Chain A
Amino acid sequence: MKNTIEVENLTKYYDKFLAVDHINFTVKQGEIFGFLGPNGAGKTTTQRMLTTLLTPSEGTIRILGHDLRSEAWEAKRQIGLVPEESNVYTELTAWDNLMFTASLYRVPRAEHAARAQELLETFGLWEKRDLKVENFSKGMRRRMSIAMAIIHKPALLFLDEPTPGLDAQSIRFIWELIRRMNAEGTTIFLSTHQIEEANQLCERVAIISHGKIAAIDTPERLKASFRRAQSVEAALEPEEAGNGPGLAALPGVTTQVKVGDKWRLYTEDPSALLPRVVHYAEERDLRLISLNTLGPSLEDVFLEITGGQVGVVQNSVDASEFDKQQKMRGKR
């Protein structure tokens, strides 16, 4: 399978500040590739370099086989870009915005109207085609921004944080659109800090932290590689303040987090922890409302990699010592 994006030693300094630090990755043709990272990690800087908006300090970028230093024009014809802020001409109507973009990308003139109508209908904006975009809501402007980015049917679409601040309906619509475009052959580069978005959409994700690529893999493999982020979730009744420290003291628990009316206990070995939680409840005459084991979420992986401290060992009670004590108590 061909690579749509090839990045080698890509580096960006802002004066002396190193924003992107010699990163390497590839994006395969037809892939939905997630680029995850906390704010300030280097996501947008990287995307701006990939779309020719920013000149790299070092390194090479090849987009659809074209080196951006010498063949940017050829690459740009096949790229669509949806930036973080909707960059629509608010003084123009929805229709005129699309006509302008179609001309900008040299879409054959005979196809301008048909494509604009198709996109406006798809995006639910056909009735508002003659309204100036300054009258549009944030979600409608976002849809316009995406429509303008794909009117020339790009082979590669960059989306920078496409959904923050949108209502659930708009988010669902954009996700469906991304899936549909990908099914039709468009490679998607999705830059986001919304973990669930990447989890739902991406075949592979790269996690960037402090300007470096910290991990690249499929979401499921990344989750599997973080055993520490497995957990047992328990809801106890009556819920008492002492349950937190009590559960955290159970052997094998690396971190405990209160999640609504439940306790989430991170552990490398959920099967060993389950009976200890049951025993803890029995010993204190507590009722177990629910007890579940959970695999690591992509958010756990993300937090672990970017320094969010999930699964950090806090509990030093030795498991074998604890089990020995329980047996002794049982004998008594």
Chain B
Amino acid sequence: MNLQRLRDELAIAWTVAVKDVRVYYLTPGMIMFGFLMPFLMFFSISTGRGISAAQGVTRLLAMTLLFTAAAAGPFVIPMERRLGTYDRLLAAPMSLTTLLLSKTAMGTFFAVLVAMVSILAGVLVFGVQIARPWLLLVSVLLGSFVFSALGLIFGSIPTRNPGNVQMPSTILRWALLFISGVFVPLDKMAPVARAVAYLSPLTYAQDLMSHAVVGQGVLSLWLDLGVLLLMGVLFLWPSFRLHQRGRVLGY
């Protein structure tokens, strides 16, 4: 790929992501699944548990990133398929990789935006001191990217009905929530439960948030960063394959 094309593709990915933000952010589905759900869930589960404000912020951030970033793909892509606007993107001069990156970027933006609300609430309302602000920024961006890529897998399933993919993607997110040390700290889990938790990206995201907000985590900081980065890239692969399958099937 020459430099001019690379520049064009990046510019197009940005254009598509910005359009998605404008068109889809304030739709009821996105608000309900991406914004309200993590907040309501957090308050309903954490109230009365006696956790510190800093711990609360790390958990809220991890949940917010998971639910918000992963909500965009399963909602937006099938919706666009149904309206025919997805064909406009597929016919435009960009590669499938660019299109998938633009959709991942949209979920990432959305999650970062909502995460800012959580962080501001923690700092301004509960007086939380952020131990490593620069790491928090990296953590939010990386976590958003990973969960957005995860959501994209569901969005890439060839269907024109968002309901067909929103249900399984929501179930997966709930499952990840309960196995990932958000409610039961990793160091207090039974060995089997901990082994399962290591499979979940949320485990590493939650631990990374602890490193950033509290200043320490259960796992190594570099392990958290490395695993999340690897998972983010790996999650793009099934999306790519599913999109290719969609083009064979006519979606």
**A contacts, CB < 8 Å to B:** 14, 45, 48, 51-55, 73, 76-77, 79, 81, 83, 85-92, 96, 100-101, 103-106, 148
Contact = CB atoms under 8 A, between A and B. Distances in A.
B91 A52 contact: yes
B16 to A, nearest CB: 7
B184 interface: no
Nearest to B86: A87
Chain A interface mostly helix, strand, loop or mixed?
Answer: loop
A92 B94 CA distance: 22
A87 B250 CA distance: 17
Interface in B13-61: 15-16, 19, 22-23
A290 B249 CA distance: 54
A103 B12 contact: yes
B5 A100 contact: no
Given A85-B84, A87-B85, A104-B92, A54 B11 contact: no
B249 to A, nearest CB: 7
Size category, B interface: 20 to 34
A104 B12 contact: yes
A52 B249 CA distance: 13
Given A14-B249, A45-B250, A105-B93, A100 B87 contact: no
A76 B250 contact: no
B84 A87 contact: yes
Contacts of A87: 83-85, 87-88
A104 B18 CA distance: 11
B91 A51 contact: yes
Contacts of B95: 73
B23 A92 contact: yes
Contacts of B16: 104
B87 A83 contact: yes
Interface of B: 5, 8, 11-12, 15-16, 19, 22-23, 83-85, 87-95, 244, 247-250
Nearest to B98: A73
A73 B87 contact: no
Given A76-B92, A79-B91, A91-B23, A103 B250 contact: no
A81 B85 CA distance: 12
A92 B25 CA distance: 13
A89 B247 contact: no
Contacts of B12: 103-104, 106
Nearest to A97: B19
Contacts of B5: 73
Nearest to A80: B91
Nearest to A103: B15
A54 B250 CA distance: 6
Nearest to B247: A55
Contact of A53 (B19, B23, B83, B247): B247
A89 B94 CA distance: 19
A202 B250 CA distance: 28
Contacts of A52: 90-91
A86 B95 CA distance: 23
A211 B15 CA distance: 38
Contacts of B83: 87, 90
